[in-house]
């Protein structure tokens, strides 16, 4: 039993008892100087163990960092070596995502920059005149038997309201029926550029405007295929189909800062926000419903 009232610095007993009858060996008491030299304070021992443990942990971290560095670049950013290096790093971070992804860029202007009018004549598009899906399918089948593969082009024209993208679509003047991207069927031997320019002039520009002045055909966004006459479009050609009925190429057409649109009197041009189009093929068809995804890769400068 330890006597708690006994002074802590008292020298240990000069005798060690090993039990009754045990031989007693005299032990000379340690001097104060010897005790100070040989005894190690408990706090000092704990501190040494803590420092040793910290050193071992740091060595392990250094070894792991070396191993990671041997396999690839470290995840820690490299510290700029000079103010110029720091400025260059800031410039790189500012452009990250645009240059690295190599996105194309287009200026998109406010809807209020444009005017909308109507021509004196009507469009002769059969899609507008067809009274039913069956009638449209019959017409398509007859034309395919006569001319073979139907080659078509369409344009995506963007405007914005409150810095949110809208797509310009054509529809019947009474607001009924299907929505259309501006474009149409190509003539035999006509290129995409020639045909889309002709269609834009016929459906969007005032009569007498030469070659759809102000509307330039941009980059190709997607290809679509019809495998049945009057059927739906697919963004791929199924493996079992060797002869599609129609091939459609969709192009971006950047708009100028201002423009006076003029459409046939049996049509109207409407601006639909992309959130209405997205994933709604029942209302707009597969092609138009995919436009929000197609233009997501384009960097838009809202002007």
Q: Dump pLDDT digits (tens) for 44-102.
A: 545 555 556 556 656 654 554 444 443 343 344 444 455 555 555 444 444 445 555 56
Assigned domain for 41 exists: no
Reported residue count of the chain is 303
Assigned domain for 120 exists: yes
Q: What is the CATH number of the domain that holds 287?
A: 3.90.79.10
The pTM (predicted TM-score) of the whole model is 0.67
Which domain range does residue 209 map to?
105-302
Assigned domain for 178 exists: yes
Assigned domain for 58 exists: no
How many angstroms separate the Cα of 177 from the Cα of each of 37, 157, 224?
Answer: 103, 20, 22
Number of domains, the chain: 1
pLDDT digits (tens, 9 = 90+) for 148-193: 999 999 999 999 999 999 999 999 988 888 899 999 999 999 999 9
SS3 33: helix
Assigned domain for 270 exists: yes
Assigned domain for 123 exists: yes
Assigned domain for 186 exists: yes
Tokens representing residue 144 in the block = 């395919």
Assigned domain for 85 exists: no
Q: What is d(CA 217, CA 38) in angstroms, rounded to the nearest whole number?
A: 93
């Amino acid at each position: 039993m330890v006597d708690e009232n006994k002074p802590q610095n008292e020298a240990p007993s000069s005798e060690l008892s090993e039990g009754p009858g045990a031989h007693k060996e005299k032990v000379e008491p340690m001097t104060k100087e010897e005790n100070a030299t040989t005894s190690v304070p408990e706090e000092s021992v704990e501190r040494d163990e803590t420092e040793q443990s910290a050193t071992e942990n740091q060595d392990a971290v250094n070894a792991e960092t070396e191993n990671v560095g041997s396999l690839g670049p470290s995840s820690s950013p490299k510290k700029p070596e000079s103010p110029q290096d720091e400025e260059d790093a800031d410039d790189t971070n500012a452009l990250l995502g645009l240059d690295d992804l190599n996105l194309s860029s287009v200026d998109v202007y406010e809807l209020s920059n444009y005017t909308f009018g109507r021509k004196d004549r009507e469009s002769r598009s059969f899609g507008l005149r067809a009274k039913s899906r069956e009638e449209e399918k019959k017409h398509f089948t007859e034309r395919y038997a006569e001319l073979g593969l139907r080659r078509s082009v369409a344009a995506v024209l963007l405007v914005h309201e409150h810095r949110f993208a809208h797509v310009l679509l054509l529809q019947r003047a009474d607001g009924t029926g299907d929505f259309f991207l501006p474009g149409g069927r190509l003539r035999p031997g006509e290129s995409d550029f020639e045909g889309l320019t002709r269609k834009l002039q016929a459906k969007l520009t005032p009569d007498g405007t030469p070659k759809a002045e102000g509307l330039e055909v941009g980059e190709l966004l997607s290809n679509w295929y019809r495998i049945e006459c009057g059927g739906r479009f697919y963004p791929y050609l199924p493996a079992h189909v060797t002869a599609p009925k129609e091939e459609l190429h969709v192009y971006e057409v950047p708009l100028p800062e201002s423009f006076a649109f003029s459409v046939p009197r049996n049509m109207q041009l409407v601006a639909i926000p992309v959130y209405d189009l997205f994933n709604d093929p029942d209302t707009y068809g597969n092609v138009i419903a995919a436009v929000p995804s197609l233009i997501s890769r384009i960097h838009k400068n809202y002007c």
